[in-house]
Amino acid sequence: MDRQKLIQTAIDALPNAYVPYSRFHVAAALLCRDGTVYTGINIENAAYTPTVCAERSAFFRAVNEGKREFEAIVICGGKDGILTDYCAPCGVCRQVMREFCDPGTFKVILAKSPEEYREFTLEELLPLGFGPENLL
Ligand code: THU
């Protein structure tokens, strides 16, 4: 799947973000190795702590469906859904990616539009991460 299409899939999911408290819409599109794509949005909560980020929403949807191998994730977000800056994943979401993805090859794509994006490996965003192999 090409970058532009994956980015557009994430952008299309932005209006679904449930963000009555921050008004900061975030959406993700997670590309599985088998070519399927799962979107996710952030879901806030009146008690704040139960809030789930868009990236984890996407991962948990995919893992629930039995997916375990992933190639890339697109993330976009901004106040009132306006994409003025790149939206980088929080530390907790980086750690969730680390559970399922090869840090050297999994791509994290931060997008402002289908034409304007920056691409990182998970290793670049989470150096010296702690992963499943550390427990073997
Ligand atoms: N948020 C995400 O969904 N992903 C990120 O990577 C950063 C933060 C959400 C959580 C909360 O709903 C809002 O953005 C403001 O922190």
Q: Along the chain (136 residues), what's the average pLDDT of each consecutive run of 10 residues?
A: 94 98 98 98 98 98 98 98 98 98 98 98 98 97
User: Quick one: pLDDT at residue 88?
Assistant: 98
- ∠ CA 8-9-12, nearest 5°, is 80
Model pTM score: 0.98
pLDDT at residue 1, rounded to an integer: 72
CA torsion angle for 29, 95, 126, 21 (degrees, to 10)?
Answer: 60
Residue nearest to atom 1 of ligand 1 (CA): 53
Q: Which atom of ligand 1 is nearest to the CA of 88?
A: 6
Determine if ligand 1 sits within 6 Å of the CB of residue 93. Answer: yes
- SS3 category, 99: helix
Cα(23) to ligand 1 centroid in Å equals 10
Q: How far is the CA of 30 from the centre of ligand 1 (A)?
A: 16
Known catalytic residue at 123: no
How many CB atoms within 10 Å of residue 27? 29
